[in-house]
Amino acid sequence: MTNKKQLYPASGRGLPSPARKKLLITLIASATAAAHMAHAQSASDRAETAATASGRPQVKTDNAATLPTITVTGSGTGTDSYRKKSASIATFGDAPLLDTPASISVITRSQLDDQQSRLLSEVVRNDAAVGDNYTPVGYYENFAIRGFALDLASSYQINGMSIAGEQNVALENKESVEILKGLAGLQSGMAAPGGLINYVTKRPADVRSVTLETDSRGSRYLATDIGALFGEQKQFGLRINAAHESLHSYVNDADGQRNFASLAADWVITPQARLQFDAEYQHREQRSAPGYQLLGGTVIPSDVSPYKLLGAQPWAKPVTINSVNLNLRLDLDLTPDWHAYLAASRSRVVIDDNSAFPYGCGYGSTCGAGGTPARYFSASGDFDIYDYRFPDDTLRNDQLQAVLQGRLDTGKLRHELTLGASAFRRTVAQSDGVNEYVGSDNIYNPNPIVYAPSPSTPDASYLRLDSRQKSLFAVDRLSFNPQWQLIAGARQVWVNERALDISGAATRTTDKTLLLPQIALVYKPQADLSLYTSYSKGLTMGGQAPWWTENAYAFLAPTVSRQIEAGVKYDWRDQLSLSAAIFQMSKPYEYPKPDENGFTYVQQGTETHRGIELNAAGQVSKQLRLTASLALIQARAEDTGTAAYDGHQAINVPRLRAALYAAYTVPQISGLSVLGGWQYSAGKAATREGNVEVPAYHVFNAGMRYKTSWQGHATVLRLSVDNLFDKRYWKDVGEYIGDGYLHLGAPRTARLSVQYDF
């Protein structure tokens, strides 16, 4: 049985000073707006207008009273067009996507609401460059970007600050989700090469809303969103989001529940100083649904159901995950051209992992037949069941970051400078747990065999990993003229990491210093069109050897990854954002190398991913808005020392993936919109040899949104049906800590919700 418990190494200002004419138009518009419409305005509308006005979530520039921001534009795109023009994930402040030399997608609050998203897997399906990478029901989810798995220690952020990735982050208090595709060494230091995912929280606003929801399996959901701006000059703001969810899973006996609460607070201390605070807590418990494995190591299971809980035992308990994420940020306007901020964050996750876990076939009567490795199910479908209990897994990320940004001119050159320092610490405390074989069963057995649990008791949790990073970074955006910009930056990283045993003695110590450069050239032949090319370098901690290798549990050395990218971005009529990018990413290939003694986990050869990405987001016409994405990826390993692994598509990376989601406003029926989506994935290799592949699949989604009014308050009804044609497909066939698992996609699911603004 593999021990899946591993050590994850660290790898405005509000209104600008507007012209009097624009201010007059704004005041007239606000005076003629009805009060109930102001209350009904969504949180996403308010945050989007504030970002448009300032580029940062700030609300004041002079000594006048601070009022809620209202932006009047003539584009006709609306504030819920599934399009956002700026993001902070690739910079250290909000920046226009058109001027950012990186491939970035932003999923807006409007789209999250229309798709009734609860999990990140329901968000990233809108971006074809992102795929599942071990996302079982009832457990925390893992993903890959451009074919590279994300690092749970460093690839996920809230408001630009690191969080522990071993949690399913709640979406109720999120304004948008930003996805950076590609190397992020400059942005975050040591990180996986795939990219970053950043959650942007809602800011305080005058909003009062309640949402009720159910689904075709009887789940129940209640959420509230309540906020206010107060004080003589509206200098204080609070926003509370809370939710309770009773989860009725499509997997039998895998129900659960979730409770969530968050607080966002803003304080405009002076016109030049603003303080923001975010706190969120989530308790989630649900029985985990494990994946299948290849039969005999070579055959994909057939005639299996997504409804079946494999290896079910009555004594198995739900997996419980408690998470707390805290963010504090102080913004200071030093001069009209210079701005600074200081940010601090803590993310803490505690997991009680309980499961009757099916894995391999080392004990059954048919195991080993035909040379089947013990880490796969047998050719006939037999598998072993383990009593798997690891309580009190505690993972914590702490970060402190200081940034100074400003402008200066040297002759004909305009410099936009970013200078900063960051300190980051990641700790992992775990017990040695219980992981014992209790019996065997078969995937086709309609009545699972019940076994007694292990009599063993888990031991106490102890500190297993202490990883620290210090870094200095600098970025200079040089503008030669309105058409040409050169962005050059680097981060100097110092890494100190210790792996510890139960006595507190270090079993491994890593000290690493590396400079991570990034350079890009941007050409804008016209204001709504930009072309860019970039080069970047990243540092990733080495992987940990699986339990069944000769060097079991050993950590390999940190590795250096490199990326080159070129792209084009175009804002069509300031309504539809279009982008295309080509890229090449490479890193040392890590894998269990077969030899005469079995397997040894090594770094040998090079893994190179090349691809093309196409993306669109925004308003196509007055009635139609959409997001569309397409990714073609060639992912191959070369010179690995194992000929069978060379020269073919990498495991779990489809050559082609596409996604489309659209909303069409029906002109004949006021308030009604028809929603629909489509996802496509080409076949995916399920083995490193590439000799087993799961089939390609199409998944179609449909829905509707109806905006109306009840007792003078805005009311929105939403209906969505995911997997409309009840397609059976394998959504994920990746490896997790050296072992291969296959997960079925969800069957058809309908959800109905009502949102009432009061």
Q: What is the pLDDT of residues 513-532, one digit of tens each?
A: 989 999 999 999 999 999 99
Cα separation, 493 vs 351, whole angstroms = 30
Q: Is the pLDDT of residue 61 over 90?
A: no
**pLDDT confidence of residue 186:** 87
* CA 618 vs CA 90, 107, 179, 398, 575: distances in Å: 21, 11, 17, 36, 6
Position 534 in a domain: yes
Chain segment 213-244, per-residue pLDDT in tens: 999 999 999 999 999 999 999 999 999 999 99
pTM over 0.85: yes
Q: Is the pLDDT of residue 32 over 80?
A: no
- Mean pLDDT of the residues in the chain: 88
Residues 6+ apart with CB under 8 A from 505: none
Amino acid at 553: Y
* CA 388 vs CA 432, 549, 638: distances in Å: 11, 21, 37
**pLDDT confidence of residue 148:** 95
Q: What is the mean pLDDT of residues 161-184?
A: 96
Q: Is the pLDDT of residue 412 over 70?
A: yes
Closest to 146 measured CA to CA, from 736, 577, 584 = 584
Helix residue ranges per DSSP H, 621-665: none
CATH number of the domain bearing residue 80 = 2.40.170.20
Cβ-count burial 614-625 (b if 16+ within 10 Å, e if not): ebbbbbbeeeeb
Position 30 in a domain: no
**pLDDT confidence of residue 77:** 36
Cβ atoms within 10 Å, residue 69: 22
Chain segment 465-488, per-residue pLDDT in tens: 999 999 999 999 999 999 999 999
370 — pLDDT class (breaks 50, 70, 90): low
- How big is the chain, counted in residues? 758
Position 23 in a domain: no
| DSSP string over 117-164 | --STHHHHTT-TTEEESS--TTS---EEETTEEPPTTTSEEETTEE--
Q: What is the mean pLDDT of residues 609-635?
A: 97
Rg (CA), the chain: 26
**pLDDT confidence of residue 647:** 94
**pLDDT confidence of residue 80:** 66
Q: Which residue has the higher pLDDT, 92 or 758?
A: 758
Position 529 in a domain: yes
**pLDDT confidence of residue 59:** 36
Q: What is the mean pLDDT of residues 36-42?
A: 36
185 — pLDDT class (breaks 50, 70, 90): confident
**pLDDT confidence of residue 276:** 98
Chain segment 542-572, per-residue pLDDT in tens: 888 888 899 887 778 788 999 999 999 999 9
Position 607 in a domain: yes
**pLDDT confidence of residue 738:** 79
Cα separation, 253 vs 256, whole angstroms = 9
Cα separation, 616 vs 167, whole angstroms = 30
- Read off the tokens for 584: 């090449």
Question: What pairing do the DSSP bridges indicate for beta strands 156-158 and 195-201?
Answer: parallel
Position 5 in a domain: no
Q: Is the pLDDT of residue 20 over 70?
A: no
**pLDDT confidence of residue 509:** 87
**pLDDT confidence of residue 11:** 37
Chain segment 331-358, per-residue pLDDT in tens: 999 999 999 999 999 999 999 999 999 9
Q: Is the pLDDT of residue 55 over 80?
A: no
**pLDDT confidence of residue 367:** 79
Cα separation, 734 vs 714, whole angstroms = 44
Domain count, the chain: 1
| DSSP string over 208-237 | EEEEEEEETT--EEEEEEEEEEESTTS-EE
374 — pLDDT class (breaks 50, 70, 90): confident
Chain segment 662-680, per-residue pLDDT in tens: 999 999 999 999 999 999 9
Residue range of the domain that includes 624: 46-50+58-66+73-757
Position 31 in a domain: no
Position 27 in a domain: no
- Read off the tokens for 461: 């949790």
**pLDDT confidence of residue 10:** 38
Q: Is the pLDDT of residue 168 over 80?
A: yes
**pLDDT confidence of residue 283:** 98
Q: What is the mean pLDDT of residues 68-74?
A: 37
